[in-house]
């Protein structure tokens, strides 16, 4: 994949991820306005986190880390990739069906393990909600497999567009329930498995059109499946460690009223740049690195890695600065309405600023990890994740008596930077392909300088626009003005300082 093609892939995935995140904002705005922080929202967040947690464990995490490199190498080498894909599909379907059955039976134990601080009302609600939404993991795991097939063959659009369907379904369900006076939470939880079916249908059909019409059959154990499982187990353990971090944070937060809801809302805000940039880079970079290493194209692998890091930092650093400088205007305008009061807004804004400080680390992990996965090394990230887990748990539990509910947010950010440091430390000995080129090294400090200039402009503008940001519908216009000012300031400073060339972006967009 040529550099311009690689950038085009980043933009394609980033565009659809942005669409998903924007609709996700609409979803969260409706959720916070119509339901609001409290027992119902805490229960929904904890219940919906269960299938998402296992989805990252089985599909987007361990499974993809093992499946995509093997499938990509078979496509590159002209081998029988379709048979391997079919076997992987059937094996994953069996595992997720068994997991769903066990979860439905032992849901109270799952809720106790992940939100043990809930009072009886929130606990019972979470158990009931969990049994409805958990089957979502089956459909989403299979959809993730077909997305991996599409990404490995350089077709990113359909896979990246699939998550948009979840937000469309949820928005439609809550809007309909509100319009007809029905119970909104009931419509919300029942529409989630339906959205999973729609996402699976989209990616399955796209894979079939791409020449991989994989069909269900009895699972088979083959040498390729054995290799995939051996590769997936360490990645599964590493992903499991990351999910333990989320559980620890939720356990601490569940001891405080509405804290689970506050952290969830803050997480949605910082997930916008993380999803648009970090996930897009990781999705495109892993199969590209795997193909280049298979073809012994070491120069191309280094160039792809450098461009991925440059692209990620050019968008992530200014996003992190914005989240830290203007969290209150962002949260108050986006979420401050209906059942979400001023105290809720202030709490969410604090968490947003903390998460913003860790955003570059979260994104760079997505850039660095493919270096390990493309080489079939899933053991090293697991060892590093264990250390990060210990740090996360120590900070979350240790600081909670001192700072209360914000301890999980602090722990997430600190552990994120620790994990990134360990990943970089582990790159030693991999050769020149893991070293960024001169262009990246020259542009990185300029990106930081342009982002600082933007931060100053945002801080001054937020002070001047403070009255407008708190006034009715005018606040929406004021926030748009604030964001536009930040974007213009950053792009202008980046162009002047040489941190970013608009001609490169235009060239990539034309070739999407």
Confidence of residue 394 (pLDDT cuts 50, 70, 90): very high
Kindly state the tokens that stand for 2.
């040529």
Higher pLDDT, 188 or 156: 188
32 vs 336: CA distance, rounded Å:
8
Average pLDDT score over residue span 48-66: 71
Tell me the average pLDDT across 14-34.
Answer: 76
Contacts 24+ apart (CB under 8 A), 168-171: 168/23, 168/195, 169/194, 169/195, 169/198, 170/27, 170/195, 171/23, 171/26, 171/27, 171/30
Per-residue pLDDT band for 512 (boundaries 50, 70, 90) equals very low
Confidence of residue 121 (pLDDT cuts 50, 70, 90): confident
Determine the 3-state secondary structure of 256 from DSSP. Answer: coil
d(CA 198, CA 495): 42
Q: How confident is the model at residue 218 (pLDDT cuts 50, 70, 90)?
A: confident
Range with the lowest mean pLDDT among 149-153, 180-184, 283-287, 474-478? 283-287
The closest of 428, 150, 154 to 291, measured between CA atoms, is 154
* Tokens of residue 90, six digits: 């059937």
266: tokens are 């803050």
Query: 431 — alpha (psi -120 to 50), left (phi > 0) or beta?
Result: left
The secondary structure element, H or E, covering residue 169 is: helix 157-180
Q: Provide mean pLDDT across the span 262-266.
A: 86
Q: Residue 433 gets which letter from DSSP?
A: G
Report helix angle 280-294 to 298-325, nearest 10.
170
DSSP 8-class letter at 436 = -
pLDDT at position 11 over 60: no
Q: pLDDT at residue 30 above 80?
A: yes
Closest CA to 375 of 415, 426, 311, 421: 426
* H helix or E strand, kind and range, residue 246: helix 223-253
Mean pLDDT computed over every residue of the chain: 81
DSSP 457-480: HHHHHHHHTHHHHTSTTHHHHHHH
CA atoms within 13 A on the CB side of 106: 11
Confidence of residue 1 (pLDDT cuts 50, 70, 90): very low
Q: How confident is the model at residue 433 (pLDDT cuts 50, 70, 90)?
A: low
Q: What percent of the chain has pLDDT over 90?
A: 29
Here the tokens at position 400 are 């909670």
Contact 307, 7 (CB under 8 A): yes
Q: 């542009």: which residue's tokens?
A: 443
pLDDT tens string 293-334: 666 667 777 777 787 788 888 888 999 999 999 999 999 888
Asked which of 3-12, 198-207, 325-334, 357-366 is least confident by mean pLDDT, the reply is: 3-12
Residue 390's H or E segment, with its range, is helix 379-403
How much is the pLDDT for 239? 61
Judge whether 111 and 247 are in contact, CB under 8 Å: no
Per-residue pLDDT tens over the stretch 126-144? 999 999 999 998 998 888 8
The predicted structure's pLDDT at residue 334: 83
Residue 489: the pLDDT is 94
CA Rg, the chain, in Å?
A: 22
Instruction: Identify the band that residue 193 occupies on the pLDDT scale cut at 50, 70 and 90.
Output: very high
> CA 496, CA 512: separation in Å to the nearest integer?
26
Higher pLDDT, 496 or 308: 496
Structure tokens at 88: 């992987």
Q: 402, 256 in Cβ contact below 8 A?
A: no
Write down the residue that tokens 């939470």 correspond to. Answer: 185
The answer on pLDDT for 3 being more than 70 is no
Q: How confident is the model at residue 2 (pLDDT cuts 50, 70, 90)?
A: very low
- Ranges 13-22, 185-194, 209-218, 428-437: which has the least confidence: 13-22
Confidence at residue 509, expressed as pLDDT on a 0 to 100 scale: 42
Handedness of CA 440, 442, 445, 450 (dihedral sign): negative
Q: What is the mean pLDDT of residues 159-167?
A: 78
Q: How confident is the model at residue 430 (pLDDT cuts 50, 70, 90)?
A: confident
Check residues 421 and 315 and name the one with the higher pLDDT: 421
Contact 268, 37 (CB under 8 A): no
The more confidently predicted of residues 38 and 487 is 487
Tokens (6 digits) for 395: 């900070």
Q: Give the per-residue pLDDT at 372.
A: 81
């Amino acid at each position: 994949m040529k550099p311009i093609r690689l950038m085009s892939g980043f933009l394609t995935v980033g565009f659809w991820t942005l669409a998903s995140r924007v609709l996700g904002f609409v979803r969260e705005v409706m959720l916070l306005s119509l339901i609001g922080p409290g027992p119902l929202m805490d229960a929904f967040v904890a219940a919906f986190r269960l299938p998402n947690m296992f989805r990252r464990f089985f599909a987007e995490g361990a499974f993809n880390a093992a499946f995509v490199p093997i499938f990509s190498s078979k496509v590159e080498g002209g081998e029988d990739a379709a048979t391997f894909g079919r076997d992987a599909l059937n094996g994953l379907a069996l595992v997720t069906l068994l997991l769903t059955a066990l979860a439905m039976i032992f849901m109270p134990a799952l809720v106790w393990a992940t939100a043990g601080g809930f009072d009886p009302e929130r606990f019972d609600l979470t158990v009931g909600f969990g049994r409805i939404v958990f089957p979502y993991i089956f459909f989403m795991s299979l959809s993730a497999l077909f997305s991996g097939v599409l990404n490995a063959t350089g077709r990113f659009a359909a896979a990246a567009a699939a998550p948009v369907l979840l937000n469309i379904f949820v928005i439609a369900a809550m809007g309909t329930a509100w319009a007809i006076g029905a119970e909104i939470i009931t419509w919300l939880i029942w529409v989630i498995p339906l959205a999973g079916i729609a996402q699976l249908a989209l990616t399955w059909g796209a894979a079939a059109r791409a020449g991989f019409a994989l069909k269900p059959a009895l699972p088979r154990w083959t040498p390729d499946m054995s290799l995939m499982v051996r590769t997936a187990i360490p990645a599964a353990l590493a992903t499991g460690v990351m999910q333990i971090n989320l559980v620890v944070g939720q356990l601490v937060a569940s001891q405080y009223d509405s804290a689970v809801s506050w952290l969830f809302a803050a997480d949605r805000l910082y997930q916008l740049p993380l999803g648009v940039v970090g996930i897009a880079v990781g999705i495109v970079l892993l199969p590209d690195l795997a193909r280049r290493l298979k073809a012994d194209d070491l120069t191309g692998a280094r160039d792809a890695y450098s461009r991925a890091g440059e692209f990620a930092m050019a968008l992530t650093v200014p996003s992190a600065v914005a989240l830290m400088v203007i969290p209150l205007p962002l949260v108050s305008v986006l979420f401050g309405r209906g059942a979400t009061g001023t105290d809720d807004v202030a709490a969410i804004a604090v968490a947003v600023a903390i998460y913003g400080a860790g955003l570059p680390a979260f994104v760079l992990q997505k850039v660095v990890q493919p270096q390990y996965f493309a080489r079939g090394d899933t053991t090293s990230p697991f060892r590093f994740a264990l250390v990060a887990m210990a740090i996360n748990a120590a900070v979350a539990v240790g600081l909670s008596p001192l700072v209360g509910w914000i301890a999980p947010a602090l722990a997430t950010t600190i552990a994120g930077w620790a994990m990134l440091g360990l990943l970089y430390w582990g790159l030693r000995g991999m050769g020149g392909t893991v070293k960024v080129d001169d262009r990246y090294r020259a542009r990185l400090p300029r990106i930081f300088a342009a982002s600082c200039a933007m931060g100053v402009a945002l801080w001054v503008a937020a002070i001047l626009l403070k009255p407008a940001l708190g006034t009715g519908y005018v606040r929406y216009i004021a926030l748009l003005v604030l964001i536009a000012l930040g974007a213009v300031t950053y792009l202008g400073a980046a162009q002047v300082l040489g941190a970013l060339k608009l001609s490169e972006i235009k060239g990539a967009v034309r070739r999407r």
